[in-house]
């Protein structure tokens, strides 16, 4: 804290021009453009921080700029949306002239929390919730445009909002951004969203299934019983089989059966 305060006092808090913030935000949408098994998100972080680094003494291509960019392109792993927090915080840390060793330690410390929070909040919460809500609208007879609008507007309100919040809070707090990760939405949100998604799963499944079947309730009823039994089997095999692979195999067998029977 002392070192942070000292360096913050030594270098005034940077104010980023709107164009720089916008450039960083749009680059965040492509943060995983070069995702790979070597440095994971590393290059993407450097790519997103780069517009801010041009404000360092010496400008683009100067020694400070090059040293900071090299630091930011090292290995990094996080949820792609939550990486916005890291991008903002690291940009501010660099512009405030924090010591390189402190920035590197801070950078390493960010990986775990930004990965797990994002995975629980978005991949295991918000995405299934939005998908199931759209499937419920589909099951209720929604037209293609309505189903797509519900899904895309709902999902991207959360998606873009999270990225914008992350970048803003990162830029505002710099290396003190850890406090922001204690935000109730991030701590309690996944649990509430998961419950809402579970509720929506119950609503959506019979409705969507009925619309796909497209015929009488008797057939739908029979299919629902089969689904319940099949789901119990899949749940018991959890961790040993992947449902989509089972679906691929069973569907291939069914197609073969139907075609071969012709002969």
Partner 1 sequence: MLAMLGAVLGLDVVSFPQAQVSRPLVAATVAGAFMGNALAGLLAGAALELIALETLPFGASRYPEWGSAAVVGGALFAGQPHTTPGALTTAALAGLATAWVGGWTMVELRKLNAHWARLRLEALGRGSQRTVVGLQIAGLTADLVRGGVLTAASFLLLRPVVRASVSLWTVNAGHSRAFVAALAATVAAGAAWKIFHTTPGARWFFLSGLAIGLALLGLR
Find the binding residues for partner 1 in span 83-102 (CB under 8 A).
Answer: none
Q: Is 43 in the site for partner 1 (CB under 8 A)?
A: yes
Q: Is 117 in the site for partner 1 (CB under 8 A)?
A: no
Residue placing its CB nearer to partner 1 in the complex, 100 or 173 = 100
CB 164 within 8 A of CB 95: no
Distances in Å between the Cα of 59 and the Cα atoms of 33, 50, 180, 215, 219 are 25, 11, 30, 67, 69
**Using CB under 8 A, which of the segments 16-24, 45-53, 85-93, 172-180 binds partner 1?**
45-53
- Rounded to 5 degrees, φ, ψ at 78 are -165, 170
Q: Is 111 in the site for partner 1 (CB under 8 A)?
A: no
Q: Which residues contact 179 (CB under 8 A, 6 or more apart)?
A: 173
Q: Cβ–Cβ contacts within 10 Å for residue 121, how many?
A: 23
Residue placing its CB nearer to partner 1 in the complex, 182 or 216 = 216
Supply the minimum distance, in Å, between the C-beta of residue 129 and partner 1: 10
Q: Is 44 in the site for partner 1 (CB under 8 A)?
A: yes
DSSP for residue 36: B
Q: Is 164 in the site for partner 1 (CB under 8 A)?
A: no
| C-alpha span between 159 and 84 (Å, rounded) | 11
**Using CB under 8 A, which of the segments 11-19, 90-98, 136-144, 180-188 binds partner 1?**
136-144
Coil vs helix vs strand at 240? coil
**Using CB under 8 A, which of the segments 8-16, 89-97, 171-179, 206-214 binds partner 1?**
206-214
Supply the minimum distance, in Å, between the C-beta of residue 38 and partner 1: 4
């Amino acid at each position: 804290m002392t070192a942070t305060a000292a360096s913050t006092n030594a270098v005034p808090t940077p104010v980023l021009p709107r164009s720089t913030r916008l450039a960083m935000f749009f680059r965040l949408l492509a943060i995983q453009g070069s995702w790979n098994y070597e440095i994971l998100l590393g290059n993407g972080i450097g790519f997103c921080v780069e517009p801010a680094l041009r404000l360092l003494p010496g400008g683009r291509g100067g020694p400070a700029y090059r040293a900071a960019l090299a630091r930011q392109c090292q290995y990094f792993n996080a949820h792609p949306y939550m990486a916005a927090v890291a991008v903002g915080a690291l940009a501010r840390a660099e512009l405030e002239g924090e010591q390189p060793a402190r920035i590197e330690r801070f950078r390493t410390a960010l990986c775990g929390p930004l990965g797990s929070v994002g995975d629980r909040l978005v991949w295991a919460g918000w995405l299934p919730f939005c998908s199931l809500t759209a499937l419920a609208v589909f099951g209720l007879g929604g037209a293609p445009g309505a189903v797509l609008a519900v899904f895309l507007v709902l999902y991207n309100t959360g998606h873009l909002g999270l990225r914008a919040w992350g970048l803003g809070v990162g830029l505002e707090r710099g290396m003190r951004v850890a406090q922001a990760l204690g935000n109730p939405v991030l701590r309690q949100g996944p649990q509430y969203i998961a419950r809402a998604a579970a509720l929506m799963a119950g609503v959506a499944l019979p409705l969507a299934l009925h619309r796909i079947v497209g015929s009488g309730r008797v057939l739908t009823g029979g299919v629902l019983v089969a689904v319940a039994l099949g789901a119990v089997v899949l749940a018991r095999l959890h961790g040993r089989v992947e449902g989509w692979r089972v679906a691929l195999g069973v569907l291939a067998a069914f197609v073969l059966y139907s075609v071969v029977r012709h002969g």
